[in-house]
Amino acid sequence: MNLSYSPEEEQFSAALRAWLAVNLPDGWLAGNRSLPTDLAGRDQFLRQWQRRLYAGGWAGISWPKEFGGRGASLVEEVIYEYEMVRAQAPPQLNLVGIQLVGPTLIEIGTAAQKAEYLNKIISGDEIWCQGFSEPNAGSDLASLQTKAVKDGSRYIINGQKIWTSYAHAADRCFLLARTSVTEKKHFGITAFLIDMHQPGIEVRPIHQINGDSDFNEVFFTNAIAERDDIVGQLDQGWGAALVMLKYERGLASQIFELERTLSDILRFAKTHSVNGRALIDDEVFGDRIADLYVRALAARLTFYRHVTEQARTGSRGAEGSLDKYCATELHKQMLSYALALCGPNGAAVEPAQVLAGLDFQTRFLTSIGAAIAGGTSDIQKNIVAERILGLPRDAR
């Protein structure tokens, strides 16, 4: 494992850091990193940020240059995530489009689909969501029941999706629906690209424990999907879904968030006292923060080892489940400890803490969902047990 950057990677890192210094929203570097509180205002703010990234050449960096990307290497993608976390840059509203839909269309989309959608995705002109999970088809996604019935050259869609990130702001959706019933439930599923603004689609935001509402329920009542917007082959949508899932990213940012949270806990400890003594000077605090530091460092170095292997082989294995589990569970523990340090004040969000970037309360509540999204910790542990440790599978 090589922990040093090549000259080209050093140049990439320096260029991104310089661009962020000039282009982050006004007041961001000074610590004023709050987003608009209303959902519509926040979405508009993030759309503008997406367009600024695109104009600067920093959207879809792993996309091939012919489609507007930089053709970045895997290591450069990791560098990108590190610099974004370091700067605490605003999130990308079109994350599903940039990281999942775009790369999937580049790999298996038709020429017409690439021409129609890719530029709109990377520029932020169209926001996308992913219609996969259903009330009775979460971890067992192949049990989905949303139906698409052929009607001439189009398909009529009825059903429900849930936990659909960004559906409230989305212009289009990468949707999985059942087009035939077979004995093998992984067959008979088709992937569609559908218009979210048509009649027959109702989006209901879900109020989350952290105060946000960017997960949604989506109801389809005689919604329309065109035949030309089938991705891959009819009834072979499971294969298209697997192509999309291999492009899932975010592990790097979750790993690097551990470092940011540790730094914030230390900053808090330097400015707060208990019984007249600064937290930073407390031996018990020192032992606890040292333990968290060592575990975070182990998670980061293990992640780097996995990235090195992926760069060598060109494929991402089950090790990603280990990284995801370690990062999300450790982050919950860190933020829980941060709340304990706050004492009674940990029970309420303090405006001053939010402005200082130390909003431990909201971040802790968000960390609970992070351990569920993209595959629960229990699912990740099963994958590690079966595919890395070689343990027997659970009884089915």
Residues noted as catalytic? 248
Measured distance CA(122)–CA(287) in Å, rounded: 46
Q: Based on C-alpha coordinates, what's the Rg of the chain?
A: 22
250, 374 in Cβ contact below 8 A?
A: yes
